[in-house]
Amino acid sequence: MRLTLDGERCTGHGRCYELAPELFAANDDDGHSILLVTGDLSADQEAAARRAVLNCPERALDLTP
């Protein structure tokens, strides 16, 4: 699975990096989260990514096979 972040949709609520700090950094200068991983996720990362995706109020995160 791969995790993507749509910076246009992100408004910086910060739920993603609160739930999965291993995958996201705190907001950048524009208030958006920063994705720390590229490529395929490990099994542990997938579980954290799913929590973040399900809790993003803007639906700015996506998991794809």
- Which domains can be identified in the chain, with CATH numbers? 2-59 (3.30.70.20)
Q: Is a pLDDT exceeding 80 seen at residue 43?
A: yes
Residue 52 in contact with residue 61, Cβ under 8 Å? yes
Neighbours of 43 (CB within 10 A): 7
What average pLDDT does the structure give for the chain?
A: 92
pTM above 0.85, yes or no: yes
Mean pLDDT for the stretch of residues 31-48? 93
24: confidence class by pLDDT, cuts 50, 70, 90: very high
Q: Examine the pLDDT at 29 and tell me if it is beyond 90.
A: no
User: What is the C-alpha separation between 58 and 22, in angstroms, rounded?
Assistant: 20
pLDDT tier at 27, thresholds 50, 70, 90 = confident
Q: How far apart are CA 64 and CA 26, in angstroms?
A: 23
